[in-house]
């Protein structure tokens, strides 16, 4: 088993704005979102970060994607350090969320080429990759239609495919099905299975148990920025339902019962 | 290559959307229509004047100068000599006016010595002040005589020098008003066209999260910043030029002059400097709005910040228009330096040095702002703050 992502003692503290302090009803100006987090993900597997709201999932994924820098600790993606070789890491990863982040004015064809060029790919490589991916995900018929005129499911597909234009080894996916209707959510889960079939490694975050049960090989339960439990599904599961196990763990960590 | 892809995208976005393109060109067209209409309203009555003037002993040169001045206003004139009962016919309104010069007028004023105390040669001008047409001729003709007399006493060459002097005097009055007003109008126009493209493209992309998708690729932050500021400046330049052309083409109508006359009164250097000044202000304003847009969390917030900057810029350029002589320290103040330099060019007090320093400094400020944007793009608090 080849280790492809390794997080070591990641720590990230935010300074809270006045507005945020009001919302969180606190007078403390700082919040440690990720608190000494360590875990490993392996090639060809889907790793799920499972945790409640505010547990630090998004922050962890942003740290791995080099969008933000850890205060302490480090992580490596394909052997590259996120703190020391950020640009190299960015070429190895695709980062996506369930929110559509494509400019509606352009066509899938144009956007695919645009992001390919941003990753420094040459035109013939972009063309070959486009033919392959567009055919595989059924976008080829809509390649010249503006994104804003596509159906929601097709938009979602385009947004996913564009994020892997550069053939990244690792796909980092924050809340893959959050806020999606059932049909679009299926587009996304199918896409994730396809990625796995293509031999990619995926790290996703979610608070949905069924998604983890259905897709993930490994799971890490994250509570208050700390890794409460991680391992293969079978290890974490320990013969119970994932849901029951989660609340057991939640209770041991926080002392709260729900 | 990556920078090129970023820039190209902005151009593609703009040039393949007719709506955006029309939005850019519209202000110029509107300005032209509105100003021309205003000009037509103001000069409507005057446009019809056809002077019929009786004359006795009028020197060729004065006749020529008068004819030129009249046609410069788009009017026409006919001089008649040897008219019977000319004074009565003026009174009856059959003639616009009647001018009487002493015999050999030119020789007489040539010999005349103002120090001698003897009466100066007399010119008689009969007209009716109640009649608008007659009054207009009176005003115009006395202005011509003034110029003529001025030319004589200053011992200018009678043919060329006198005539030319007169005209530049006329332009000067107009040039001063225009020079004080126009920079203000130009800054307002440039600002609004920069605002139109930049807010949407930068703050819009940040708000919708499409900017973040670019940041997860291995593109340099400075390229992202440049990839916005350069193409947006080009696009804004189209809008600004359209507005500017609208102003330049319609102002002569507003002033009741021919476009050719007005254009000719400023030299090539003036036009070049004006062009450079406007062009230097565009990237500066675009970069400033882009910086505010990068900082802001939403388009709404960005436009609020931008409005504040716009108001400051407007107040500065109005102040520059009102304050008579502004110190040369203004050359270091962005935008204001261009306003002051443009005023200099338009009021025919060109300072090439001041203009070029302003252009250079504004470009330097723009580059600094691009660096600032790049810094902000890598700031976690600004890009991912809550
Ligand atoms: N940029 C930021 N500035 C300040 N505080 C932040 C910032 N980002 C996250 N936080 C805080 O850090 C904590 C963890 O946030 P994070 O978004 O990582 O949680 P999450 O597990 O993704 O939650 P959710 O399920 O709501 O998406 C929260 O309390 C949040 O308010
Ligand atoms: Mg989150």
Q: What is the ipTM of this complex?
A: 0.87
β pairing state of B50-56 and A226-232: unpaired
Query: Which stretch of A169-183, B227-241, B315-329 has the lowest confidence by average pLDDT?
Result: B315-329
Q: Give B124's strand partners.
A: B100
Question: With contacts defined as CB-CB under 8 Å, which chain A residues touch B18?
Answer: none
Residue A184 predicted with pLDDT over 90: no
Q: Which fold has domain B50-152?
A: D-Maltodextrin-Binding Protein; domain 2 (3.40.190)
Of residues B252 and A104, which shows the higher confidence score?
A104
Residues whose Cβ atom is located within 5 A of ion ligand 2: A 58
Question: B153 exposed, middle or buried (CB, 10 Å; 0-12, 13-18, 19+)?
Answer: exposed
Q: Rounded mean pLDDT of A232-252?
A: 83
Of residues A254 and A140, which shows the higher confidence score?
A140
Strand ordering across the sheet containing A46-50: A93-97, A170-174, A201-206, A46-50, A218-223, A226-232
Distance between CA atoms of residues A145 and A167, nearest Å:
24
- Classified as helix, coil or strand, A84 is coil
Q: What is the DSSP letter of B116?
A: G
Of residues B150 and B331, which shows the higher confidence score?
B331
Average confidence score pLDDT of chain B: 81
β pairing state of A93-97 and A46-50: unpaired
Residue B293 predicted with pLDDT over 90: yes
**pLDDT tens profile A156-173:** 889 999 999 999 999 999
Please report how many Cα atoms fall inside a 13 Å half-sphere around the Cα of residue A253, on the Cβ side.
19
pLDDT above 90 coverage of chain A, percent: 68
Vertex B9, ends B7 and B10: CA angle to 5°?
70
Q: Which has the closest alpha carbon to B236: B274, B183, B282, B272?
A: B282
Distance from CA of A109 to the nearest CA of B (A): 13
Report which protein residue has its CA nearest ligand 1's atom 29: A54
**pLDDT tens profile B332-375:** 888 888 888 888 887 777 788 888 999 999 999 999 999 999 99
Domain boundaries, chain B: 14-41+170-384, 50-152
Residue B181 predicted with pLDDT over 80: no
Under 8 Å between Cβ of A231 and A219: yes
Q: Which residues contact B189 (CB under 8 A, 6 or more apart)?
A: B27, B31, B239, B240, B243, B244, B247
Distance of CA B58 from the midpoint of ligand 2 (Å):
92
Distance from CA of B8 to the nearest CA of A (A): 9
- Classified as helix, coil or strand, A168 is coil
Band (B258; pLDDT cuts 50, 70, 90): low
Distance from CA of A88 to the nearest CA of B (A): 7
Distance between CA atoms of residues B378 and B111, nearest Å:
82
Name the B residues in 187-246 with CB < 8 Å from any A CB. 205, 208-210, 212-219
pLDDT at B114: 63
In Å, how far are A77, A84, A218 from A80, measured between CA atoms? Answer: 5, 8, 22
B306: left (phi over 0), alpha (psi -120 to 50) or beta: alpha
Report which protein residue has its CA nearest ligand 1's atom 31: A54
A and B: number of Cβ contacts within 8 A: 67
Do the chains contact at B380 and A69, CB–CB below 8 Å? yes
Query: Which stretch of A3-12, A117-126, A142-151, B189-198 has the lowest confidence by average pLDDT?
Result: B189-198
Band (B254; pLDDT cuts 50, 70, 90): low
Vertex B335, ends B377 and B288: CA angle to 5°?
10
pLDDT at B3: 92
Q: Which has the closest alpha carbon to B25: B254, B204, B33?
A: B33
pLDDT at B165: 26
- Classified as helix, coil or strand, B66 is helix
Q: Rounded mean pLDDT of A40-59?
A: 94
Neighbour count for residue B268 (Cβ, 10 Å)? 7
Residue A48 predicted with pLDDT over 90: yes
Q: Give A231's strand partners.
A: A219
Q: Which residues contact B179 (CB under 8 A, 6 or more apart)?
A: B342, B343, B344, B345, B346, B347, B348
Residue A247 predicted with pLDDT over 50: yes
Distance from CA of A173 to the nearest CA of B (A): 13
Residue A200 predicted with pLDDT over 90: yes
Q: Is B385 part of the contact surface with chain A (CB cutoff 8 Å)?
A: yes
Q: Rounded mean pLDDT of B260-281?
A: 77
CA-nearest residue to B382 within chain A is A68
Distance between CA atoms of residues B338 and B345, nearest Å:
10
Residue A102 predicted with pLDDT over 50: yes
Which DSSP string corresponds to A15-58?
Answer: EPPHHHHHHTT----EEEEEEEEEEEEETT-EEEEE--TTSSHH
Nearest-atom index, ligand 1, CA of A222: 21
Residues within a 6 A CB radius of ligand 1? A 14, 16, 20, 31, 33, 51, 53-59, 207; B 384-386
pTM to 2 decimal places: 0.77
Distance of CA B180 from the midpoint of ligand 1 (Å):
54
Closest ligand by atom to B380 CA: 1
Report which protein residue has its CA nearest ligand 1's atom 30: A54
Query: Which stretch of A20-29, A41-50, A87-96, B5-14 has the lowest confidence by average pLDDT?
Result: A20-29
Average confidence score pLDDT of chain A: 91
């Amino acid at each position: 088993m080849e280790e492809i992502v390794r997080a070591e003692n990641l720590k990230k503290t935010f300074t809270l704005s006045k507005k945020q302090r009001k919302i969180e009803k606190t007078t403390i100006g700082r919040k440690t979102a990720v608190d000494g987090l360590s875990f490993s993900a392996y090639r060809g597997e889907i790793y799920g970060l499972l945790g409640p709201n505010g547990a630090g999932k998004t922050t962890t994924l942003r740290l791995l994607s080099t969008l933000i820098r850890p205060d302490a600790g480090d992580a490596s993606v394909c052997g590259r350090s996120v703190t020391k070789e950020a640009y190299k890491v960015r070429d190895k990863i695709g980062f996506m969320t369930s929110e559509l982040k494509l400019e509606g004015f352009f066509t899938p064809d144009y956007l695919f080429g645009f992001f390919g060029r941003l990753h420094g790919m040459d035109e013939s490589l972009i063309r070959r990759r486009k033919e392959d991916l567009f055919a595989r995900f059924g976008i080829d018929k809509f390649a010249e239609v503006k994104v804003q005129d596509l159906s929601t499911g097709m938009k979602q597909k385009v947004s996913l495919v564009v994020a892997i234009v550069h053939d990244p080894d690792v796909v980092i996916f924050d809340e893959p099905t959050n806020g999606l209707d059932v049909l679009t959510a299926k587009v996304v889960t199918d896409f994730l299975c396809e990625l796995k079939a293509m031999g990619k490694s995926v790290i996703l975050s979610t608070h949905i148990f069924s998604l983890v049960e259905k897709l993930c090989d490994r799971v890490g339960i994250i509570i208050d920025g700390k890794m409460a439990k991680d391992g293969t599904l079978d290890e974490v599961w320990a013969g119970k339902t994932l849901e029951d196990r989660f609340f057991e763990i939640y209770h041991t960590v926080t002392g709260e019962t729900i | 290559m990556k920078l090129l892809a970023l820039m190209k995208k902005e151009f593609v976005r703009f040039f393949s959307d007719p709506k955006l393109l029309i939005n850019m060109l519209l202000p110029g067209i509107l300005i032209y229509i509105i100003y021309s209409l205003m000009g037509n309203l103001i000069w409507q009555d005057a446009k019809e004047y056809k002077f019929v003037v009786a004359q006795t002993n009028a020197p060729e040169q004065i006749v020529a100068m008068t004819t030129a001045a009249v046609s410069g206003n788009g009017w026409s004139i006919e001089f008649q000599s040897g008219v019977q009962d000319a004074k009565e016919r003026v009174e009856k309104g059959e003639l616009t006016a009647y001018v009487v010069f002493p015999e050999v007028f030119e020789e007489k004023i040539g010999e005349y010595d103002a120090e001698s105390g003897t009466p100066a040669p007399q010119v008689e001008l009969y007209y009716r002040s109640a009649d608008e047409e007659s009054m207009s001729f009176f005003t115009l003709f006395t202005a011509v005589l003034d110029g003529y007399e001025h030319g004589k006493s200053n011992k200018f060459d009678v043919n060329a020098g006198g005539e030319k002097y007169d005209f530049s005097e006329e332009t000067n009055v107009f040039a001063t008003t225009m020079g004080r007003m126009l920079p203000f109008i130009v800054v307002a126009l440039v600002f609004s066209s920069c605002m139109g493209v930049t807010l949407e493209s930068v703050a819009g992309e940040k708000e919708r999260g499409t900017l973040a998708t670019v940041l997860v690729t291995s593109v340099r932050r400075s390229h992202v910043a440049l990839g916005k500021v350069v193409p947006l400046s080009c696009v804004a330049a189209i809008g600004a030029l359209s507005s500017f052309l609208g102003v330049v083409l319609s102002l002569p109508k507003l002033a009741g002059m021919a476009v050719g006359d007005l254009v000719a009164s400023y030299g090539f250097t003036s036009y070049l400097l004006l062009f450079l000044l406007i062009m230097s202000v565009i990237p500066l304003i675009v970069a400033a709005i882009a910086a505010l847009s990068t900082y802001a969390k939403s388009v709404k917030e960005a436009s609020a910040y931008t409005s504040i900057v716009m108001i400051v810029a407007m107040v500065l350029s109005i102040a520059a228009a009102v304050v008579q002589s502004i110190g040369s320290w203004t050359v270091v103040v962005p935008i204001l330096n261009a306003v002051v330099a443009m005023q200099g060019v338009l009021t025919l007090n060109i300072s090439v040095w001041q203009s070029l320093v302003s252009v250079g400094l504004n470009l330097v400020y723009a580059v600094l702002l691009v660096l600032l944007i790049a810094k902000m793009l890598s700031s976690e608090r600004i890009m991912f703050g809550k």
